[in-house]
Structures are given as C-alpha cells and as structure tokens.
Structure 1
Amino acid sequence: MFHQKKPYFGDMNILRSFAVFILAGLCEIGGGYLIWLWLKNDKPLWFGILGAVILAFYGVVATWQSAGFGRVYAAYGGIFILMALIWAWRIDGFKPDKYDVIGALIAIIGACIIIFTPRNK
C-alpha cells in the first residue's frame, strides 16, 4: 500500500559506505605505518613488504564504494584526516589539540556533503 521512498545515498547505505571508508583508512594508514617503521625505525624488511601489500589492498577496498572515483577519493580525504589523527593519538601517543579536532570535524562534514548529498541523475 504505502511505499516509503528510501533516501538517496548513491547505490549503498550510509553504514556500509562508512564501513568501507574505515576499512580503506585502516589499510592505507596501517600499510603506510609499517613502511614508515621499516624505513625510519630500522624494522625488518618484512614490515615494508607487508605494508606494501596492505597498501595495495587499500586500492581494492576503495573500489567497493558505488560513487565515482573523484567523489570517493575526495570524501575519503576528509575521513582519512580524522582517522590519521586517531591513529597518531592511539598508536604514537600524539595528543591532538582543539584545532586538530576542529579541523577534522570540518573535514568529516565536508566528506559527508561530498559523498551523501542527493543529486539529480
């Protein structure tokens, strides 16, 4: 009888989209971090090799989004900013200040506008 119109968010729902963004972020930051440790902290070569494999997997994960390449990568940039700060805080002991937090929130809002705003086809 009554058919509710689903909100338009590309071809996938918001939770799945965020999950893919988070997985992509973990792959990019984690892979980059392993390479960083190998080159800057004298860790074994296998750190670098594993980091490269994880970074390559990041390239695959990003394709799981349904929006076009430009929008996905633009929106991911905002999410990456927040995730990089969280990684640095939790893994490296970096203490974000209020300007880091404000900047990350602005980036996340921008990312959400880019990827989730309904558009006419």
Structure 2
Amino acid sequence: MLQTLGLYLLTAVAEILGCFLPMLWLHKRGPAWLLLPAAACLALFVWLLSLHPTASGRVYAAYGGVYVATALAWLWLVDGLRPTGWDWAGVGLVLAGATVIILAPRT
C-alpha cells in the first residue's frame, strides 16, 4: 500500500509540473525552454501510471484521489494559498474513495 501511495504521489508531482511549467511560460513568468522539462514530466507521468499491474481504469480512478490531495498541497506550498476547510473535506472524501478502490477485494 505504501509503495502504491508513493508511486501515485510521484506520478501526481510529475503531472502537476508538466502542466505548471507551460503555464509559467504562457503567463510570461518563465522562459520558453521550460516547455522541455514540462514535456519530460508529462512523459514521466504516463510511464509511472503504466507501472501499476491492475486495470488502467481502476488505476486512474484511485490516482485521482491522490492527485487532488497533491494539487492542494501544491496550492499551499508553491502558490502560497492555504486550502480552506472545504478543500480539506473534499480531499478526505476523494482519498476515502481512492482507498476503497485500492483495497477492494479482487476476484
């Protein structure tokens, strides 16, 4: 379970960086060369998702919960905006759903 969570966290950071770096360039807060590491991050994101041995739809669904939590941590740590109680409640809900998906018995 911890290995899966770690892989999901790394995947989420790769995806967020792959989207954040082009946003910096588009808003003229960063140079165009940021598009190169952004593309590498998105390629890493896809590769990391492929490492899970279960059905891809289940992987994406469970990953979504971890992504939401990571995105709120990014909001706080990088963007400097503290998440609200409603944000944390939403994270709790999606992580509960992701946990159900990850831990459900398989036939």
TM-score interval, normalised by the smaller of the two chains: over 0.9
Choose between structure 1 and 2 for higher RCO, CA contacts under 8 A separated by at least 6 residues.
1
Is the alpha carbon distance of 1:90 and 1:48 closer, same or farther for their aligned partners in structure 2, counting shifts above 3 Å? same
2:105 aligned counterpart, secondary structure: coil
**CA-CA distance at 1:113 after TM superposition:** 0.7
Give yes or no for contact 1:78–1:111 (8 Å, CA) kept in 2: yes
Counterpart CA distance in 2 for 1:82 and 1:22 is: 9
**Residue of structure 1 aligned with 2:69, choices 82, 88, 103:** 82
Counterpart amino acid of residue 98 in structure 1 = G
Q: Aligned-pair distance for 1:32?
A: 1.0
- C-alpha distance in 2 between matches for 1:60 and 1:22: 14
Matched length: 107
User: Unaligned regions of 5+ residues in structure 1, if any?
Assistant: 1-13
Residues 51-90 of structure 1 aligned to structure 2 (within 5 Å): 51-90=38-77
Higher helix share: 2
CA distance, structure 2, for counterparts of residue 39 and residue 93 of structure 1: 20
1:1-34 Cα offsets, whole Å, 9 max, x none, are xxxxxxxxxxxxx111111101101100111111
Cα deviation, 1:45-98, whole Å, max 9, x if unaligned, reads: 111221111111100011111211000001111111110000010000111110
Percent of counterpart pairs with the same letter?
36
Structure exhibiting the larger radius of gyration computed from Cα positions: 1
Q: Any residues of structure 2 matched to 1:1-121 within 5 Å, and which?
A: 14-120=1-107
More divergent stretch after superposition (33-42 vs 84-93) = 33-42
Runs of 4+ in 1 over 2 A off after TM superposition: none
TM-score, normalization: structure 1?
A: 0.84
Tell me the secondary structure at the aligned position of residue 22 of structure 1: helix
1:118 CA displacement: 1.3
Deviation at 1:40, TM superposition (A): 1.6
Q: 2:53 is paired with a residue of what secondary structure? A: coil
